[in-house]
Amino acid sequence: MRVRSPLLYCLCCLVLLGCKQEFKSNTLPILPTHWRHIAEQGTDTKVGRFVSTQKDLVIHYDIGPLAGEYASSMPYPNREWLRDGRLGDSSFRYLLDNDGTLYVTIPYEGPANFWAKVDGQADIDYVLELLARHRQDLLRRRDDA
């Protein structure tokens, strides 16, 4: 179909642009206070871990151009599965190995790699949700201990 009137075309574009739904970040729940951020000394990347004081869960990270991609489609001997997903506007990959370690890589944020020992789908969902909503807040929080 060919649009004959430039005015009609512009009007349709404006209507479509007005229909775009935006989600404000302040509608997300507040960062849980039971998480501590412990920055560590990296050689050429930003490394550290997030430690929960309520759950038996530690999320490690390695971020920077030289960090590589921990969850990638490259052959990995102990891989149980590899999946793709989205965190807001960011695409990511996540991999579960046979030892129960979940690796999450966000390629266009460094790349940013996160990993944690998980015990089932509930832990996987929790880690992915925490990273989706609060990874930047966790990285800003400093509890070096």
Cα distance between residue 115 and residue 117, in whole Å: 7
Read off the tokens for 139: 């990285």
Q: What pLDDT, on a 0 to 100 scale, did the predictor assign at position 94? A: 93
Q: What pLDDT, on a 0 to 100 scale, did the predictor assign at position 97? A: 94
Per-residue pLDDT of the chain (145 residues; tens, 9 = 90+): 454 555 444 444 434 444 333 323 333 345 678 888 888 888 899 999 989 988 899 999 999 999 989 998 887 788 889 999 886 777 889 999 999 999 999 988 889 999 999 999 999 999 998 888 888 777 776 655 4
Q: How many CA atoms lie within 13 A of 136 on its CB side?
A: 8
pTM of the predicted model as reported, rounded to 2 decimal places: 0.73
Q: What pLDDT, on a 0 to 100 scale, did the predictor assign at position 18? A: 42
Residue ranges per structural domain of the chain: 34-140
Read off the tokens for 137: 């807040």
Nearest to 66 by CA among 48, 41, 92, 44: 44
In this structure, which amino acid lies at residue 119?
D
Cα distance between residue 145 and residue 141, in whole Å: 12
Read off the tokens for 32: 């849980």
